[in-house]
Amino acid sequence: MTIRFENGIVATLGKKNRILWNATVVSDGEKVAAIGPAAEMAERFPDAESVDCSGKIILPGFICTHHHFYSTMARGMAPPGEPASNFVEILERLWWKLDAALSEEDITLSAQIPLIDCIRNGTTTIIDHHASPGHRDGSLDQIESAVRQAGLRASLCYEVSDRNKPGAGIAENERFIKKVGHGDGQIAAMMGLHASFTVSDETLEKCVGIAKDAGVGCHIHVAEDAADRKDSLDKYGVPTVNRLHSAGVTGEKSIFVHCAPPKSVNTSRTSPPSTTIRIVFFMLTPMLTPMLTSPSLPCSGALRRCPGRRAVPGARLRSHVAEDHAGYGQ
Ligand SMILES: [Zn+2]
């Protein structure tokens, strides 16, 4: 069905961002067929259904480059016992209890609910990082079904961690990566890892090997807290990024989430030369509704909105923080 989203303010974003006043975006049901002045589009597509967007801004859908669907279940949740006083306690008292408790039914619901929120808020593509140690096998298929049902796009992975069992989750990633291949335009796969401090060298090597063989990237939390850096220094004698780089986790297709070294750290020492790292909180790029061009937004403004977060020199910055994720602590 062809639809004219007309009389709006169109922000095309992309390398050559354009702001078009009283403009129309025409969708052929799958792709953007045309963008232009409202009168001209009405003349070219007289039979299209019309949606009046007067007083509204039409812009590409958002891409969330780091999500935990299941985490949305913890909104407003007060875990029993003493409140956590540091990052590791937050993991132990909330997140690792929550993900371990997820039932098969929970996994589907935990994806469906945030997917509805994504639609309502204009996020049309999600890169998710899933964990459900109690119901691990097939969990990515359940999330895939929910995403397809919602009509959105997603890249999925399972969070490999040695915290429960060495290498737990590798098989689920490998299975799903093989199943999805390089994606069908709607669903893609990555190799998921929790964080440096919960994966051994052996686990890292296995994960990187599978990712490289399949040509997919790794999705991992990096230096989310000083505990991650300390663990790497204590066990391996190098900062987190250096360890991961040496293991082959870095690369054009990999996502390093957080990368928040303590202010006392000279970041030039933590970044191996010529490493390509995506420092990712959330990325704004376009996708489905309405589908426009492909932008790569500058992130300087985003970093300004993110006090305390500093860039690793040499890394490629492609993202920013989504407020509704802030405070999840994971
Ligand atoms: Zn996370």
CA of 325 to the centre of ligand 1 (A): 9
CA of 330 to the centre of ligand 1 (A): 4
Residue 263: what pLDDT?
Answer: 55
CA of 129 to the centre of ligand 1 (A): 7
CA of 141 to the centre of ligand 1 (A): 20
Homologous superfamily of domain range 3-58: Urease, subunit C, domain 1 (2.30.40.10)
How far is Cα 245 from Cα 269, in angstroms, rounded to an integer? 13
Residue 262: what pLDDT?
Answer: 60
Helix (H) or strand (E) segment spanning residue 206:
helix 201-214
CATH of domain 62-317: 3.20.20.140
Residue 288: what pLDDT?
Answer: 24
What does the domain layout of the chain look like in residue ranges?
3-58, 62-317
Cis peptide bond N-terminal to 290, omega within 30: yes
How far is Cα 143 from Cα 93, in angstroms, rounded to an integer? 25
Residue 29: what pLDDT?
Answer: 86
pTM of the model: 0.78
CA of 257 to the centre of ligand 1 (A): 7
Residue 324: what pLDDT?
Answer: 30
How would you classify residue 111: left for phi > 0, otherwise alpha for psi between -120 and 50, otherwise beta?
A: alpha
Residue 78: what pLDDT?
Answer: 80
- 280 near 310, Cβ under 8 Å? no
What beta strand segments (E) does 157-288 contain? 187-189, 191-195, 218-222, 255-258, 278-280
Q: Which regions in the chain score pLDDT beneath 70?
A: 261-330
CA of 195 to the centre of ligand 1 (A): 9
CA of 44 to the centre of ligand 1 (A): 46
CA of 317 to the centre of ligand 1 (A): 17
CA of 196 to the centre of ligand 1 (A): 13
pLDDT digits (tens, 9 = 90+) for 17-73: 899 999 999 999 888 999 999 999 999 999 999 999 999 999 989 999 899 999 988
CA of 159 to the centre of ligand 1 (A): 10
CA of 38 to the centre of ligand 1 (A): 42
CA of 182 to the centre of ligand 1 (A): 23
CA of 166 to the centre of ligand 1 (A): 20
Residue 301: what pLDDT?
Answer: 31
CA of 9 to the centre of ligand 1 (A): 34
For residue 288, with 0-12 CB atoms within 10 Å meaning exposed, 13-18 middle and 19 or more buried, which class applies? buried
Give whole-number Cα distances, 261 to 30, 71, 122, 224, 279, in Å.
42, 24, 31, 8, 12
CA of 298 to the centre of ligand 1 (A): 22
